[in-house]
Amino acid sequence: MKFELIDHIVELSRGERIVAVKAVSLAEEYLADHFPTFPVLPGVFMLEALVEAGAWLVRDAQDFAAPIILLREAKNVTYKSFVRPGNVLTLTVTCRRLARDQSDFAGVGHCRDEEVVRARFGLVHATTEQPLGTNAQVDQKWMAAARTRFADLCR
């Protein structure tokens, strides 16, 4: 199962900062199990939403050069409150370091004015020159789809 958690990119400073939103709906299938009588966005999905925002920042800054962007590490992750259906999670991710093959970020998520998640995390970028130990070629269909998705998120 693949989740695309970011619904909209609100602000983007190329290579520096991204602000994105995730609207939580009761229709999201994982909420049925987490938890049946008290549905909340799983903490790991809050972290994944921050990572996803950071990955879009990398793609934009590097002109979609890395077809694969993965979480390398997460540090100092703190969860301070629940995100329930009907809430909008606003994610602000700031780039601390951006290199060709790796990046580091600080991210924070808010619901209304309340901080609900905070983390520092690092990503690894696999390019066609170093595709994470595989022989993968850049898939032009993927590149076109990623650019289209990014354009849709920025509208």
Q: Is the peptide bond before 38 cis (omega within 30 degrees of 0)?
A: no
Selected catalytic residue, list 8, 34, 110, 125: 34
Exposed/middle/buried for residue 105 (C-beta within 10 Å: 0-12, 13-18, 19+):
buried
Active site residue 8: no
Facing residues of 79 across strands?
117
Q: Tokens 């700031």 identify what position?
A: 94
37 close to 26: Cβ distance less than 8 angstroms: no
Please give the positions annotated as active site.
Answer: 34
